[in-house]
């Protein structure tokens, strides 16, 4: 093959350089010799004849295409070869040449200080970051056995999207596997070290821990199926039992050294649930006895913990969008919900994610007491500009920042969802709220085109939808009613597993039920005064706090509400951007949710913390990466990237090597979390 082609090429050259007629004959003669060549040659020859008039001896379009591709390929191979032949320290060398010598990674630095592995470490990954693999599927998932459907490259989501959505969904009634489908969490450290190739989650932390001597026997990734409600992971996979047995074994094989637990994001709630479960008697609990936690756990280092929920969860459940999606939707309205191409992406995503019970664990908890009422919120008076100025200048400017804040209208963060900007801003008596709860749900629209992307909105009818919009404003408390109204099935499933209130009397026997175990405002911490609880999170990034909604203008088939991205704040410093009010946080979890329990709810001996477990708040100020070479930055404060934050890693390693919270330096606070916590009126 190459030989003939080569000849042909050479002939073509001659054809180009020599006089026309003779060479053409030659080509034709040559062509007759070889069938393969003939096929290719004759059209080329014809083309040449045609082009003869204009350009002399130019290659045909096809030829130059091939030529171009060849060039690209060759260059690519060359580069690939060079890349592979490159010494592995080369990128580092380049980086150092540009930015100056890099600081040692914390693992190396602390190893030099003489720290070694001491306490076994348990990681609890959060929602979405854990991989899921297929163990049994329908026919369309042929060949995907034990391949990752979630995590990894997500190749299948593109190749067979419908099949993928079908397999990722859970049963709408039970919240467990649909019949014939078994999707299970990936186990081991690989479950969540990288979410996608190159996008680390735990990998940096693992690598740094390994530097001071950790390995698989002293590190454990408590991977669980993050789609299930927490108690269901035990029912279906016995995950909680496995975690219990594994922690027991690690403590036993490491000479009785207690474990340091590092949950991230939703893993924080999962581990709260675990701590209650493990001490509760069987069959509902794990039967570990009342002192299991004090025997086996040294410290819990919560990273970006959404203790009190996140507002993002509401918008996710309500309209399957967050700020970024809303913006994309505003730019290209038809794209994500395209009816013609039968894409209906958002509807499918909503349908799928509404079968995941775990998302409901992150609905804001504590109602108006915590998240603020119509006219009040703990964060009020917060200005994003203030913090920015602190970062840039010194404290002098911060005072001027507070001065200017007094002149501006306060943002009513308590109104988590409002329909229209005026509803979000005007004082509460002026808002006319029509109770939607009694509104008759209209008849089923029974639109056949929508059938396959069923969401519960179809059962609501136009009246119901309008009633929802006319209520205008929802606080953290009424938002629950709203969700109850728009997604009754999901909430019925979810409310059997999660609760969002504040306990009046924690000794009430009803709080022994597992649905309260993941709500820190309705559980007591275990009686283990030696445990230390850390709240570690990034600050300095605007984080979604409340939303301005509008009704979708389009056909019934769509999700009837969407974030109104046309609303912007009056000036540059406003918290309102694209229909979303933001406060300080780590881009996902507002500071209030991440910090309140450690700053106030559990500080000292409170009714939520009867044994007086010590708590520490450790904040990490966000600094974006200085240049592209730094990747996702070593000082990032955003929800996932904070796991690559050197300061945070150093703290974790020190604790794992035996330090206490006091050794680390106690609290480390940049935000107003203590001030805000004070404003919350909660009996302790």
Question: Least distance in Å: CB of 244 to other proteins?
Answer: 9
Q: Are strands 532-539 and 614-621 parallel, antiparallel or unpaired?
A: parallel
Q: Which listed residue (471, 638, 639, 641) is catalytic?
A: 639
Tokens representing 424 are: 């979000």
Map 612-669 to HEC letters: CCEEEEEEEECCCCCCHHHCCCCCCCCCCHHHHCHHHHHHHHHHHCCCCHHHHCCCEC
Neighbours of 219 (CB within 10 A): 21
Q: Measured from the CB of residue 337, what is the shortest distance to other proteins in angstroms?
A: 27
Closer by beta carbon to other proteins, 3 or else 628: 3
CB nearer to other proteins: pick between 74 and 449: 74
225 vs 379, beta carbon nearer other proteins: 225
The H or E element that residue 137 is part of is none
For the CB of residue 342, give the shortest distance to other proteins in the complex, in Å: 20
Q: Select 70 or 290, whichever has its Cβ closest to other proteins.
A: 70
Cα 222 to Cα 175: distance, rounded to the nearest angstrom: 21
518 catalytic? Reply is no
Shortest distance, CB of residue 213 to other proteins, whole angstroms?
Answer: 8
The C-alpha atoms of residue 643 and residue 634 are separated, in whole angstroms, by 9
Determine which one of 23, 169, 229, 265 is catalytic.
265
Q: Are 95 and 192 in contact (CB under 8 A)?
A: no
Smaller CB distance to other proteins: residue 84 or 681?
A: 84
CA separation for the pair 313, 304 (Å, rounded):
15
Residues 6 or more apart whose Cβ sits within 8 Å of residue 589: 265, 304, 305, 306, 310, 537, 543, 639
Residue closer to other proteins, measured from CB, 210 or 669: 210
Rounded to whole angstroms, how far apart are CA atoms 222 and 224?
6
| Least gap, CB of 250 to other proteins (angstroms) | 9
For residue 622, give the nearest of 666, 587, 664, 673 by alpha carbon: 587
The answer to whether 483 and 491 are in contact (CB under 8 A) is yes
Report the 10 Å Cβ neighbour count for 473.
22
**Residue whose CB is less far from other proteins, 73 or 391:** 73
From 586, 621, 667, 672, the catalytic residue: 586
Least distance to other proteins, CB of residue 77, Å: 7
Least separation in angstroms between CB 216 and other proteins: 6
- Please tell me the distance from the alpha carbon of residue 44 to that of residue 63, in angstroms, as a whole number: 9
Which residues are 532's β-sheet partners?
Answer: 299, 614
280 vs 287: CA distance, rounded Å: 6
For 452, how many CA atoms within 13 A lie in the half-sphere containing its CB?
Answer: 10
CA distance readout (Å), 660 to 23, 25, 160, 253: 87, 89, 50, 22
Provide the token pair at 180. 């014939």
Token code pair at residue 15 = 């054809």
What is the closest distance, in whole angstroms, from the C-beta atom of residue 38 to other proteins in the complex? 16
Which residues make up the interface to other proteins (CB under 8 A)?
1-3, 5-6, 9-10, 12-13, 16-17, 63, 65-74, 77, 88-89, 135-136, 142-143, 145-146, 182, 184-185, 187-190, 193, 206-207, 210-211, 213, 215-217, 237-238, 241-242, 245-246, 248-249, 252-253
Q: Is 265 a catalytic site residue?
A: yes
| Annotated catalytic residue 296 | no
Nearer to other proteins, 141 or 480 (CB): 141
Would you say how long the chain is, in residues?
A: 684
Contact 412, 472 (CB under 8 A): no
| DSSP character string of 484-508 | HHH-HHHHHHHHTT---S--S-TTS
Cite the active site residues: 265, 586, 639
């Amino acid at each position: 093959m190459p030989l003939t082609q080569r000849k042909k090429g050479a002939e073509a050259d001659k054809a180009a350089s020599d006089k026309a007629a003779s060479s053409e004959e030659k080509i034709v003669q040559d062509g007759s010799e070889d069938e393969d060549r003939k096929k290719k040659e004759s059209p080329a020859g014809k083309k040449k004849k045609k082009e003869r008039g204009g350009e002399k001896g130019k290659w045909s379009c096809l030829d130059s295409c091939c030529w171009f591709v060849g060039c690209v390929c060759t260059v690519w191979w060359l580069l690939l070869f060079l890349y592979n032949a490159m010494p592995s320290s080369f990128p580092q060398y380049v980086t150092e040449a540009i930015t100056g010598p890099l600081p040692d990674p914390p693992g190396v630095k602390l190893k030099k200080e003489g720290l070694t592995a001491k306490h076994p470490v348990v990681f609890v990954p959060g929602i979405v970051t854990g991989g899921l693999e297929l163990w049994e599927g329908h026919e369309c998932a042929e060949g995907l056995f034990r391949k990752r459907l979630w995590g990894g490259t997500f190749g299948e989501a593109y190749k067979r999207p419908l099949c993928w959505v079908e397999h990722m969904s859970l049963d709408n009634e039970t919240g467990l596997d649909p019949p014939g489908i078994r999707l299970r969490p990936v186990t081991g450290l690989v479950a969540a070290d990288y979410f996608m190739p190159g996008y680390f989650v735990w990998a940096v932390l693992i690598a740094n821990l390994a530097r001071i001597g950790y390995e698989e026997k002293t590190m454990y990734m408590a991977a669980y199926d993050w789609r299930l409600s927490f108690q269901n992971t035990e029912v279906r996979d016995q995950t909680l039992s496995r975690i219990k047995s594994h922690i027991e074994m690690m403590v036993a094989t490491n000479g009785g050294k207690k474990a340091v637990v590092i949950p991230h994001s939703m893993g924080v709630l999962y581990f709260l649930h675990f701590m209650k479960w493990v001490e509760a008697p069987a069959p509902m609990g794990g039967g570990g006895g009342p002192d299991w936690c004090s025997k086996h756990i040294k410290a819990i280092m919560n990273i970006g913990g959404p203790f009190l929920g996140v507002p993002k969860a509401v918008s996710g459940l309500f309209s399957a969008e967050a700020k970024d999606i809303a913006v994309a939707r505003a730019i290209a309205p038809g794209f994500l919900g395209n009816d013609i191409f039968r894409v209906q992406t958002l509807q499918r995503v909503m349908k799928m994610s509404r079968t995941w019970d775990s998302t409901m664990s992150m609905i804001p908890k504590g109602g108006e007491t915590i998240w603020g009422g119509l006219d009040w919120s703990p964060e009020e008076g917060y200005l994003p500009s203030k913090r920015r100025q602190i970062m840039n200048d010194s404290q002098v400017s911060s005072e001027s920042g507070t001065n200017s804040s007094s002149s501006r209208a306060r943002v009513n963060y308590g109104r988590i969802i409002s329909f229209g900007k005026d509803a979000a801003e005007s004082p509460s008596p002026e808002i006319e709220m029509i109770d939607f709860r009694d509104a008759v749900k209209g008849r089923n629209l029974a639109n056949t085109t929508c059938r396959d992307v069923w969401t519960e909105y179809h059962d609501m009818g136009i009246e119901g939808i309008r009633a929802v919009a006319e209520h205008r404003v929802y606080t953290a408390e009424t938002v629950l009613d709203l969700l109850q109204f728009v997604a009754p099935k999901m909430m019925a499933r979810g409310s059997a597993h999660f609760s969002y209130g504040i306990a009046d009397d924690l000794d009430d026997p009803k709080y022994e039920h597992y649905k309260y175990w993941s709500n820190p405002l309705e559980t007591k911490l275990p009686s283990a005064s030696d445990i230390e609880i850390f709240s570690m999170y990034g600050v300095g990034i605007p984080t979604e706090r409340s939303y301005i909604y509008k009704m979708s203008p389009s056909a019934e088939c769509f999700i009837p509400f969407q974030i109104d991205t046309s609303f912007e704040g009056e000036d540059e410093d406003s918290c309102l951007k694209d229909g979303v009010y933001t406060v300080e946080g780590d881009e996902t979890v507002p500071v209030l949710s991440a910090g309140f329990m450690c700053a106030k709810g559990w500080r000292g001996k409170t009714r939520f913390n009867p044994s007086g477990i010590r708590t520490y708040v450790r904040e990490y100020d966000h600094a974006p990466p200085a240049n592209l070479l730094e990747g996702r930055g070593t000082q990032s404060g955003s929800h996932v990237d904070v796991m690559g934050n050197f300061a945070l890693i150093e703290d974790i390693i020190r604790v794992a090597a035996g330090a206490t919270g006091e050794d680390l330096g106690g609290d480390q606070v940049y935000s107003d979390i203590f001030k805000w916590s004070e404003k919350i009126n909660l009996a302790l």
